[in-house]
Amino acid sequence: MRIAVFGAGAWGTALALAFSRQHDVILWSREAHEIDDLKRDRENRRYLPGIPLPDTLALTHQIEVAAPADLHLVVTPLAGLRSTARALQVAAPNTPLLWACKGLEAGTTRLPHQIVAEELGPDAPCGVLTGPSFAAEVARGQPAAVTIAARDLEFARHWVRQLHDHRLRLYANDDLVGAEVGGAVKNVMAIAAGVSDGMGFGLNARAALITRGLAEITRLGLALGARRDTFMGLAGLGDLVLTCTGDLSRNRRVGLMLAEGRTLDDILAALGHVAEGVSTTREVAALAQRLGVEMPITQAMDDILAGRLNARDAVEQLLARDPKQE
């Protein structure tokens, strides 16, 4: 089977490596110089240094070369999903599509499946690949388990059967909204966890934050039509715990640096990678307000990232909230 992976960042490269163990994979980047570097070095030195690319992994910057495939897998930052889906609709319409982008679109609060529906049509064969997975570990062949979620459960089951292996285990789910909400909002909570850890609040505080963060994710998901049980699975609790506790989490590192008092511009420059939680926080806060969903942790992170509060004052406001029933 031929799989075309669109997006040669850390996660796109990692998935290309994982799936190339069993399939014919071509990895695409819109930047010709990035592909030239990958061809020359046979590794992604910027995002996954030290992990060799197999000779069987094809590389291209031409979308018309990559598009003829049995499966399209879009692993760009969320900001690139719409333009990539639009280009693929021209280059190879009706090809099954999975995306591994997480977040809400800036300015529209669209979830990824809504973006895809607008570009490919509401009946396009598609779904999301999401769950607790750091790119570096997947690229090295370390075990991980993720979810393929789609409105059509048989579509999800089919691609689970096609892509599953003993090192990257896949599970099918038909709660597309829940899987996407879990993947998006956990990045907001990871920033909060980084702030908490960076301020030295300890493991008890982190556990409380993860638990209350899961409650916020669930409330928003239910308001959007998701199922509660999805948030107890890989796309919910699993992804949340990993991103809030793992040192490889870019969003957690944003929170750690916010706790140091560094500016957002400085943090993003130092990071060198996209941290989807930064833009997602603003969109989640706006969506929660519009839906009347209480999300105090999200609101606090939005206030910090927007410069309305510093980290310490935001935490003090959270701690000063009235007691609640769980």
- The answer to whether 9 touches 3, Cβ cutoff 8 Å, is no
Closest by CA position to 280, among listed 241, 307, 321, 251 = 251
Distance CA 138, CA 15 (A): 7
Closest by CA position to 114, among listed 180, 70, 187, 184 = 180
Residue 24 per-residue DSSP state: E
* Residue in the structure block whose two tokens are 């240094």: 49
Residue 186 known to be catalytic: yes
Number of C-beta neighbours around residue 22 at 10 A: 14
**Active-site residue, selected from the candidate residues 39, 102, 186, 324:** 186
- The answer to whether 163 touches 19, Cβ cutoff 8 Å, is yes
Distance CA 270, CA 307 (A): 19
H/E stretch holding 8: none
β partners of residue 71: 3
Distance CA 99, CA 148 (A): 9
The residues carrying an active-site annotation are 186
